[in-house]
Structure 1
Amino acid sequence: MRKVLSSALHGIAALLAGVTMAVSALAAENAFGPFTFDDTKPDVISLNGEIDAGSALNFRRALQAAPNAKLVTLNSIGGNVQMALLIADDIHQRKLATYIPKDSRCFSSCSYIFLAGIERKADGQLGVHQISSDAPDLVGAQLAISDIIDLLNRFDTPVEVMSVMFKTPPNDMHIFTADEIERYKLNRTGTEQQPTTAAAPVLPSTAPGTGGAPTSTQITAPPSQTPPVTATASTPPTSQETQALVSPIEEFTKRPNRIAIYTGMDLFGDDISSTRVVDAAACALSCLLTKGECKAFTFNADPKIKRGPNCFLKSSAGRADGNSVAFSGRFLSAADADPSAITLGTIDPKSALFDNVDLPGGDLSHFPDRAAKTPLDCRLACIDEAQCVAFTYLKKKKECWLKGFIGTPIFGQDMVSGMKKLQTFSPAKIISLN
């Protein structure tokens, strides 16, 4: 048994490498400057990195390559103000949603892009400050601020947010707290967006760089490819239209973005299918290929099992159970917190079950457990009973006896006994799928 455990533990590195390679093979990434999307999620464009002088053009290239994009995820320290305003205008005109994932940040000029979203949510950090410029051009700076205010007004940005923005020095950063995000209504669903007019703003042209001072040239943002529709109080959006507005962020946050891997733990039950694969990485890939139907998997690493299924795909994480030859994985979405350690009473089917062994005495009841008809049922019944520390199952009589203490083991023909112990399970690794 120690050899099996050792082999399983050594297999973690191979499992991680295999899953990473499998995920990479599934997703062909398309990059346009700091903007990317992959073929498995063509409705999501991701901004990762600084906004530079070519970012507005690169964003339009990404939009052309991903015409069905509904959502832009943000992870940027900011950058060129003019480019950010042009990107923000495109997002607003196309009615795209914006989202800052957990552990991501959207600072400085990136905040304009976030605020442009028809639907928007900040699970990560949102930070703002004044624009900065190396050129002492007061008039140009005031014009730039005026253009920023005009654009932010089009996005129905609360005046308190703009006040915080312009009061924070350019060498500082105000990161909104969860309380401020709620108070200023920085998160919003698609149905909360006010009707917009068809007029496009006049945006300042700045030299490349972070917060550069505006030049004398003015650039007019291009008109939307889809003419805006003005809603009236008498024509509320239909349920289908409302769903179309609300769904992008909710859909994205429900998608799996990482896997929590456990060793020695079986996710028992809720199987949707089972198959035989070469290793745990292949089992994880089989789960991924179901496109959301599979939420977890367990791989049996026992080398003695030469035939039959060893990969079990599950509709949910089911119930956790101890099994020293098991690798299990649970898929997590952006909405899920990293799982914490759990402590369970377990009767390991590989190391804590004993054939032809009786544990006399210590019965919790004068009668056998009537619901337990098999050794498996008896094992689970003991696990579920807090006072049970062991069990003995009589195969011929099909009787399950739960024990309150462990007697001296003796030979028992056609009996199976098991002893319970407490085990703590923590993820051996959490693998990102991004």
Structure 2
Amino acid sequence: MRIDEAFKALVRIDDGVLMRGAFFAMLAAAGVFLLIDMREIAAMNDGLPRFDPMLEDRPVLPPAVTEAAPNGPPVQPGSSDEVLRQPMKFDLRPGGVLLAEGTIDLGAGSRFAEEIEARGEYVRTVTFNSPGGSVDDALAMSKLIREKKLDTKVAAKALCASSCPIVFAGGVARVAEKDALIGVHQVFSGGEERPTPAQAMSFAQSTTARVARHLDTMGVGPGLWINALETPPDRLYYLTEKELVDFHLTTEPVATAKTDG
């Protein structure tokens, strides 16, 4: 009788719970592979990641992931490398639009919170042009955007890569214009000290779990983060218009940029 009762109890478990459990188990396993990637990167670069948008001698945009030789992004960004490399700045524009432009450097989350505290009553939409950066700051910005019930946007030929899509996911309504560049890849430790294996493992697992949990809370499908985990940090997985919708990173079909006249 006890076996029968246990079986009946298992049958009653919601399929969604089982799928969610399996997904997070898979992410935990992916952390092990991320550790291997991080150790290889540290060995080749003396502790520095191969992709860092703040380093002037390295490309702001890594090549796309392809089966053959790496290709460039699907379109060229409208901003110069100099603009994208600068620490993130905020510019309040007409219509309640706050432009967040530049690299998500350490402290960008605090500056964003100060900006919202000072002028948040005028802000309705946060629009991004950023190659990414600090994951912790990206998570903090994303959570504040959702707390304040703001919308997010990536304009045509604007960039939102690496950790930037984490911030973008915080929007209640999320819009990407046609030819917006949105890409993801593995997270990595940005410190100058070479991490020990234990530190790298801890970073990989905790960061993977935090980002996956946040994206799930924001209503983003797990396929987005799976593609990120599969993509080395010196490459980018550029999302197609269909994937933006299928992964629920955008809340409506890709929009066409409006022109004056």
Give the TM-score normalised by the residue count of structure 1.
Answer: 0.36
**Which residue in 1 is equivalent to 2:195?**
135
Q: Is the 8 A contact 1:84 1:109 kept in 2?
A: yes
Which residue of the other structure, out of 94, 113, 126, is the alignment partner of 2:167?
113
**Which residue in 2 is equivalent to 1:96?**
150
Which residue of the other structure, out of 157, 168, 176, is the alignment partner of 2:220?
157
Change (3 A) 1:110 1:57: same
Per-residue Cα deviation, 1:20-66 (whole angstroms, up to 9, x for no partner): xxxxxxxxxxxxx623234x626211111001111011101111222
1:135, 1:59 → 2: CA distance? 29
1:187, 1:151 → 2: CA distance? 16
1:139, 1:61 → 2: CA distance? 31
Higher helix fraction: Structure 1 or Structure 2? 2
**Which residue in 1 is equivalent to 2:84?**
none
Residue 114 of structure 2 corresponds to residue 61 of structure 1: yes
Higher gyration radius (CA): 1
Shift of 1:79: 0.7
Give the TM-score normalised by the residue count of structure 2.
Answer: 0.58
1:153, 1:187 → 2: CA distance? 14
- Secondary structure of 1:135's aligned partner: coil
Q: Is the 8 A contact 1:43 1:66 kept in 2?
A: no
**Which residue in 1 is equivalent to 2:241?**
178
Higher strand fraction: Structure 1 or Structure 2? 1
Q: Is the 8 A contact 1:52 1:80 kept in 2?
A: yes
2:227, 2:155 → 1: CA distance? 22
Kindly report structure 1 stretches of 4+ aligned residues shifted beyond 4 Å: none
**Which residue in 2 is equivalent to 1:78?**
132
Per-residue Cα deviation, 1:392-418 (whole angstroms, up to 9, x for no partner): xxxxxxxxxxxxxxxxxxxxxxxxxxx
2:210, 2:246 → 1: CA distance? 25
Change (3 A) 1:56 1:42: farther
**Which residue in 2 is equivalent to 1:44?**
97
1:54, 1:145 → 2: CA distance? 21
**Which residue in 1 is equivalent to 2:25?**
none
Residue 89 of structure 2 corresponds to residue 166 of structure 1: no
2:225, 2:88 → 1: CA distance? 26
- Give the total of aligned pairs: 164
Q: Is the 8 A contact 2:104 2:138 kept in 1?
A: yes
Shift of 1:158: 0.4
Superposition RMSD on alpha carbons, in Å?
Answer: 2.4
Q: Is the 8 A contact 2:245 2:251 kept in 1?
A: no
Q: Which runs of 5+ in 2 are unaligned?
A: 1-86
For residues 271-286 of structure 1, what are the structure 2 equivalents within 5 Å?
none
Q: Which runs of 5+ in 1 are unaligned?
A: 1-32, 190-249, 254-333, 340-434
**Which residue in 2 is equivalent to 1:258?**
none
